[in-house]
Each structure stands twice: as C-alpha cells, then as structure tokens.
Amino acid sequence: MKVLGITGGVGAGKSTILDYLNRRYHARIIEADKVGHFLMEPGQKVYYHIVETFGSGILRGDQSIDRQKLGKLVFDDQEKLVKLNSLVHPAVKEYIASEIEKERKEGKVPFVAVEAALLIEDHYDTICDELWYVYADEDARRRRLAASRGYTSAKSDSIMKNQLPDEIFRESCQFVIDNSSEIVQNTYEQIDRGLKEHGIL
C-alpha cells in the first residue's frame, strides 16, 4: 500500500483532489489540519501541553481551546508560534504515521493520501512514498479564495507570501497537478494518469 503526500499553496484546490481520490478510488484521506484540531481537543495529550504552556485564558467555557484566541496570541509573537508548532506538528505527524500503519495492517484501502500545508517543511517524505504538488496560477487562487472564503486581495497576499515558492514545491515533489482550469475534468485526467504512471494503484 502506497502513501501519497498532497501539498500546494492556499487556494490551489487540494480539497478537490482529495475528494476525487476518495470518491473515485476509495483512498483513505488524512488531513493534517483536521488531525491537529482533533489532538487539541480535551482529553488529548497535546491539549494539556498547550494549556500548560499558554494558560487557561485560551479556553472557552466548556474547557475546549478557543483556536481564535490562541491564534491571536501567537500571531505576532514568533517565539510563541514556534513553541505552539513544536507541540502540535510532531504529534500530528506521529498520529498520521500510526494511522498509516493501521491501514497497512487492515489492507482495506488501495492507498492513503496525506494532505498537509507543511508537507515539505515537516519532512513528510519520511512517511510518504511520493509527494504531489497541486499547482494553480495566482489569479485562479485569488478568485477561489475570494469566492469560497471571502478573502480580500490583501489577505490572500499575506498568506501567499508566507508559503513556499513554486520552484521549491516543484523541486520537492514527484508529480505536479495543474489545477488552474475551471474545467475539473482536466484535473481528474491528470490524477488518473499520475496514479497509473507512478504505480500508486
């Protein structure tokens, strides 16, 4: 069973790719973001580490972590952000590795697709067989972010400038899906070809 890492800039359309891999091929999809949210829930080890580090002021009335409050706390403080990432990211990767192991043992899915914004920076190549880059030109990404999330041009700018440049994505990944087109069939055909050519299936 192969493990495919999916990455790309904000607004590139990674969700479209994951949805297709799940619907068409019944792949197990693991999203690092969702795993992070799960590990921050009360009762999880990461939850206690975060509360211990940042204090009970980040908690809601029901004792869950208010991610907005936490975000504001670390947004302008590089040291706090590094600390938060050091608590969350390794735990997320460890959890994903254990889920992959479970899927290997059960042998019920054709492959696993792992999506993470920091797939390259957090060295997911150690647990993935291949990394795939979902590319979309900047105009397409801006349009999508405005339509789906209501982002202003300035907000899109601020996120994009903190992400890896296109050439680093291309150097680090074994396959590129160009998802700039609004004709989704074009994207699906690239995925089908990539899965066959790269022996994922």
Instruction: State the pLDDT at residue 133.
Output: 97
11 has binding-site annotation: yes
Instruction: State the pLDDT at residue 157.
Output: 84
Instruction: State the pLDDT at residue 162.
Output: 84
Q: Same CATH topology for 1-27+109-201 and 34-108?
A: yes
For the chain, the structural domain boundaries read 1-27+109-201, 34-108
14 has binding-site annotation: yes
Instruction: State the pLDDT at residue 75.
Output: 83
12 has binding-site annotation: yes
How many residues are listed for the chain in this entry?
A: 201
CATH number of 1-27+109-201: 3.40.50.300
DSSP 36-53: HHHHTSTTSHHHHHHHHH
**pLDDT tens for each residue of the chain, 201 residues long:** 999 999 999 999 999 999 999 999 999 999 999 999 999 999 999 999 999 999 999 999 999 999 999 999 998 899 999 999 999 999 999 999 999 999 999 999 999 999 998 999 999 999 999 999 999 998 899 998 999 899 988 888 888 888 899 999 999 999 999 999 989 999 999 999 999 999 998
153 has binding-site annotation: no
36 has binding-site annotation: no
CATH number of 34-108: 3.40.50.300
9 has binding-site annotation: no
